[in-house]
């Protein structure tokens, strides 16, 4: 099963639905995943994830990494 990955202002985040909850992981350059340390509410739908991540991390934006987009 493919889990959506997002480029969140230069950081790669993988999101998995585990039961009724979302689990988010940071993906390192070596491909290893570590817990991201933030919570995605269970009511957020999959098609809303990119917007949610952009709203949550908008302060990390810069002229060189100014968006959030799905990469997988």
- 44-59 tens-digit pLDDT: 999 999 999 999 999 9
Read off the pLDDT of residues 22-33 as tens digits, 9 standing for 90 and up.
Answer: 999 999 999 999
pLDDT above 70 covers what percent of the chain?
97
Structural domain total, the chain: 1
**Cα gap 36→6, rounded to integer Å:** 13
Question: What's residue 65's pLDDT?
Answer: 82
Band the pLDDT of 63: cuts 50, 70, 90: confident
Nearest to 48 by CA among 38, 59, 40, 60: 40
Confidence of residue 9 (pLDDT cuts 50, 70, 90): very high
Q: Which structural domain, as residue segments, surrounds residue 23?
A: 5-70
Exposed e or buried b per residue across 4-35, where buried means at least 16 C-beta atoms within 10 angstroms of its C-beta: bebbbbebbbbbeeeeeebbbbbbeeeeebee
């Amino acid at each position: 099963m493919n889990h959506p990955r997002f480029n969140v202002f230069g950081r790669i985040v993988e999101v998995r639905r585990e039961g009724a909850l979302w689990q988010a992981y940071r993906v390192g350059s070596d491909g290893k995943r570590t817990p991201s340390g933030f919570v995605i509410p269970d009511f957020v739908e999959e098609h809303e994830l990119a917007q949610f991540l952009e709203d949550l991390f908008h302060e990390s934006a810069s002229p060189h990494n100014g968006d959030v987009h799905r990469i997988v």
